[in-house]
Copies of this chain bind each other. A is one copy, B any other.
């Protein structure tokens, strides 16, 4: 079946959640949102493009920082209401300069930082 971004299920804001994973290591890099146009642009350009809820604008990841994400593969879940993006990440994915946004673990009831910012 030919994929059409319009056939996905979006929330009341017109957004779908996106999990971004390093295509080689399997590490979860970040979590963000796309609208139908961002999904289409990501597939067309190969540059992972989110919808920024705070700026209410398209967000080509790394456009400013250079920490771009090159699309390797997009996957859709069973309910068609979540996307998994496998990407080739240049530099850190997190705005804190860490490889991943998920750098805080909960261990024995305590928050532990498990990843340092990159230089």
- Give the interface of A toward B (CB within 8 A): 1-3, 17, 19, 21, 25-28, 30-31, 43, 73-79, 82, 84, 94-96, 98, 101-107, 109-111, 114
Contacts and interface: CB of A to CB of B under 8 A. Distances in A.
A82 B43 CA distance: 25
A25 to B, nearest CB: 7
A74 B105 CA distance: 6
Given A43-B106, A75-B106, A76-B106, A25 B26 contact: yes
A73 B2 contact: no
Nearest to A7: B111
21 contacts: A3-B109, A19-B31, A21-B26, A21-B28, A25-B26, A28-B28, A30-B77, A43-B106, A43-B109, A73-B105, A74-B106, A75-B102, A75-B103, A75-B105, A75-B114, A76-B104, A77-B101, A78-B95, A78-B98, A78-B104, A79-B101
B19 A76 contact: no
A68 B26 CA distance: 22
